[in-house]
């Protein structure tokens, strides 16, 4: 896409440095003011600028424009629709979003022989151009040659990779897959292997291959050389044995290992298809299509994960004796070391894992419930075998280890709301000079007028304490919206 922008600039280049065909035919060549070329690596003359803008002469203007274009080439994302022209009284500014790229003045308009606004709009409009991007009826300036964007040149490899508009060059995109992707997706891609890195890897691989071939050729030539003389013929057989002996042992080991390999393949496929069957059954139970008495639907996926883990562990235990080198002391020593590391390095993780399994089958809450765990009150965002995540009314995400949940107390507000309704209460204090029946009536009326409060069961008032100067009255009301209890 950035190369497309350069192609648009080339339209102005050809127009500013060339003249119409009829003028060439008549032999008349109008004088052209001295200008400075805007050049991008590798030596691509895009266009020329003429005249002064403020204190900047043509050379300073060309250098400033060159710096802006190079910065635009290095940008990770280019949007062609961000190019636009802003016409002023004395010049026309070509902008990319809010960034000023260059100014087109009367000097450029005189060099092209067209009005200044028309010259400025040659770039963003990119009028229909013949193949290779050259405008019809014009020839490139011999003094300032420029490579056509439709041709392939090693120095233009990076720009050609970014071309995505065939309307300018007359060719198809260099990468159709990238051309079909939105710019937002391309902005997040990372070029892992650049052309320079690919070339370095290829050269290194060729060097290694050459060294291997040279060493192999020398090694195979030595037995032939030694076999020519009777007193060195024994060395010939010995050198060949160094190569043929290990190769023969490897081939025999592979042949003898084929039965064990077939056993491993059978065990693997049997376990894989058993897991697929269990996944299907768990999905049916979770969706409510398959009902098992006493087995809740939200148990289906956790149970499937546990059974799948147990099946894969059992498969590894069965396959382990069939692995090559499994009976070697080194293999056994590494297995024991890994066992010690897992046992002594993950005691807290195993405790949280066991607590997560227990919590899953206790069903104290589910995802989406409003709960209170310890001092934290919020909605359950996620339940895993290790932690549980809550989101409070202040949009704070709290991560609680499952072992803390199992050893502490949990209050589930959503369960009560689903049954008879959650009881919300608030305490007010009233002096003894106010009649208590009037206080009760006002509190009940306020509760009934609140949106989200259930009419049945009806709200009620409790007198919680009789102090020296006031009475504490508690208004209680039912709601089925536990997520709004802070607002109610």
Tell me the torsion sign for CA atoms 369, 374, 377, 381. Answer: negative
| Token output for 245 | 């002996």
**Per-position b or e across 454-471, b if 16+ CB within 10 A of its CB:** beeeebbbeeeeeeeeeb
Q: Is the pLDDT of residue 330 over 70?
A: yes
Q: What are the phi and psi torsion angles at 71 (to 5°)?
A: -65, -35
Question: How many whole angstroms separate alpha carbon 356 and alpha carbon 350?
Answer: 10
Evaluate whether 408 touches 374 at the Cβ level (below 8 Å): yes
Averaged confidence pLDDT in the chain: 76
Read off the pLDDT band of 372 (50, 70, 90).
very high
pLDDT tens for residues 105-143?
777 777 777 777 777 666 554 433 333 333 333 333 333
Q: Does the pLDDT at position 146 exceed 50? A: no
208, pLDDT greater than 50: yes
The pLDDT, as a whole number, for residue 46 is 67
Whose tokens are 């409060």? That residue is: 453
Q: Which residue has the higher pLDDT, 304 or 342?
A: 304
Q: What is the DSSP letter of 407?
A: H
Residues 79 and 183: beta-carbon distance below 8 Å? yes
Q: Do 135 and 7 meet the contact criterion of CB atoms below 8 Å apart?
A: no
The structure tokens listed for 113 are 């022989």
Contact 378, 391 (CB under 8 A): yes
Which DSSP letter does residue 93 get?
Answer: E
Phi and psi dihedrals of 145, rounded to 5? Answer: -70, 145
What is the C-alpha separation between 226 and 449, in angstroms, rounded?
109
Dihedral pair phi/psi, residue 87, rounded to 5°:
-85, 130
Cα separation, 61 vs 68, whole angstroms: 11
Q: What angle do CA 93, 88, 112 make, to 5 degrees?
A: 60
How far apart are the C-alpha atoms of 31 and 14, rounded to whole Å?
A: 16
Q: What's the pLDDT tens digit per position in 443-476? A: 999 999 988 888 888 999 999 998 889 999 999 9
Residue 254 has pLDDT above 50, yes or no: yes
| Distance (Å, whole) CA 280 – CA 294 | 20
The two tokens of residue 128 are 């229909």
Q: Which band of pLDDT confidence, cut at 50, 70 and 90, is reported for residue 207?
A: very high
Determine if the peptide bond prior to 42 is cis (ω within 30°).
Answer: yes
CA–CA separation, 302 vs 293, rounded Å?
A: 17
Token pair of 244, please? 């043929």
Rounded CA separation 85/121 (Å) = 7
CA 79 to chain centre: 20
Both tokens of 57, joined, read 């002469």
pLDDT, residue 40, reads: 60
Measured between alpha carbons, how far is 389 from 396 in angstroms, rounded to an integer? 10
Q: Is the pLDDT of residue 331 over 70?
A: yes
pLDDT at 297 over 60: yes
- In percent, the amount of the chain with pLDDT more than 90 equals 25
Complete domains list, the chain, with CATH: 2-187 (no CATH), 351-416 (2.30.30.60), 420-484 (3.30.70.100)
- Highest-confidence segment of 4-13, 92-101, 111-120, 141-150: 92-101
- Smallest Cα–Cα separation from 135: which of 123, 117, 143? 123
> Quick one: pLDDT at residue 249?
86
User: How far is residue 362's CA from residue 466's CA, in Å, rounded to a whole number?
Assistant: 42
The reported pLDDT for the residue numbered 381 is: 92
Tell me 458's DSSP state: P
Number of H helices, E strands in the chain: 18, 13
Q: What is the Cα–Cα distance from 72 to 60, expressed in whole angstroms?
A: 19
Quick: pLDDT tens for 163-182.
333 333 333 343 444 444 45
d(C-alpha 91, C-alpha 58), whole Å: 15
CA triple 120-65-132, angle to 5 deg: 60
pLDDT at 135: 37
At residue 184, does pLDDT exceed 50? no
Calculate the alpha carbon distances from 453 to 478, 480, 488 in Å. Answer: 6, 8, 8
SS3 353: helix
Is the pLDDT score of 205 beyond 60? Answer: yes
Picking from 38-52, 207-221, 263-277, 398-412, which range would have the lowest pLDDT averaged per residue? 38-52
- Region 195-208: mean pLDDT is 90
If pLDDT is split at 50, 70 and 90, which confidence band does 157 have? very low
Comparing CA positions, the residue from 101, 152, 124, 156 lying closest to residue 12 is 124
């Amino acid at each position: 896409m950035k190369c497309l922008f350069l192609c648009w600039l080339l339209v102005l280049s050809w127009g500013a440095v060339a003249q119409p065909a009829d003028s060439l035919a008549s032999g008349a060549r109008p004088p052209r003011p001295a200008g400075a070329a805007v050049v991008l690596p590798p030596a691509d003359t895009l266009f020329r600028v003429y005249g002064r803008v403020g204190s900047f002469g043509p050379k300073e203007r060309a250098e400033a424009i060159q710096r802006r274009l190079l910065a635009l080439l290095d940008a990770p994302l280019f949007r062609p629709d961000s190019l636009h022209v802003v016409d002023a009284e004395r010049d026309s500014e070509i902008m990319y979003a809010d960034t000023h790229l260059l100014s087109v003045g009367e000097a450029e308009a005189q060099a092209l022989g067209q009005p200044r606004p028309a010259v400025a709009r040659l770039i963003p409009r990119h009028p229909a151009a013949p193949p290779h991007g050259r405008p019809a009826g014009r020839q490139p300036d011999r003094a300032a040659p420029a490579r056509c964007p439709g041709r392939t040149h090693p120095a233009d490899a990076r720009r050609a990779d970014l071309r995505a508009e065939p309307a300018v060059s007359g060719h198809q995109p260099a990468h159709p897959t990238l051309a079909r992707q939105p710019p937002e997706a391309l902005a997040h891609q990372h070029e892992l292997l650049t052309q320079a890195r690919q070339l370095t890897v290829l050269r290194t691989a060729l060097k290694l291959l050459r060294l291997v071939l040279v060493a192999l050729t020398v090694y195979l030539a030595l037995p032939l050389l030694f076999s020519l003389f009777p007193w060195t013929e024994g060395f010939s057989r010995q050198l060949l044995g160094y190569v043929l002996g290990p190769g023969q042992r490897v081939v025999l080991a592979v042949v003898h290992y084929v039965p064990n390999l077939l056993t491993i393949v059978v065990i693997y496929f049997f376990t894989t298809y058993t897991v697929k069957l269990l996944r299907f059954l768990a999905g049916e139970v979770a969706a409510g299509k398959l009902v098992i008495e006493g087995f809740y639907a939200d148990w289906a996926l956790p149970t499937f994960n546990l059974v799948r883990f147990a099946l894969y562990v059992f498969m590894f235990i069965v396959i382990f004796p069939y692995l090559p080198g499994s009976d070697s002391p080194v293999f056994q020593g590494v297995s024991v070391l890994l066992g010690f590391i897992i046992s002594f390095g993950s005691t807290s993780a195993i405790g949280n894992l066991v607590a997560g399994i227990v919590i899953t089958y206790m069903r104290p809450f589910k995802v989406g419930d409003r709960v209170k765990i310890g001092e934290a009150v919020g909605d359950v965002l996620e339940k895993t075998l290790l932690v549980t995540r809550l989101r409070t009314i202040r949009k704070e995400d709290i991560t609680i280890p499952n072992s803390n949940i199992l050893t502490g107390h949990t209050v589930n507000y959503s369960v009560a709301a689903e049954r008879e309704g959650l009881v919300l209460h608030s305490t007010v204090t009233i002096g003894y000079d106010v009649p208590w029946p009037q206080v009760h009536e006002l509190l009940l009326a306020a509760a009934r007028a609140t949106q989200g409060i259930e009419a049945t069961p009806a709200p009620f008032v409790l007198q919680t304490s009789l102090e020296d100067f006031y009475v504490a009255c508690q208004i209680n009301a039912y709601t089925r919206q536990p997520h709004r209890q802070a607002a109610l």
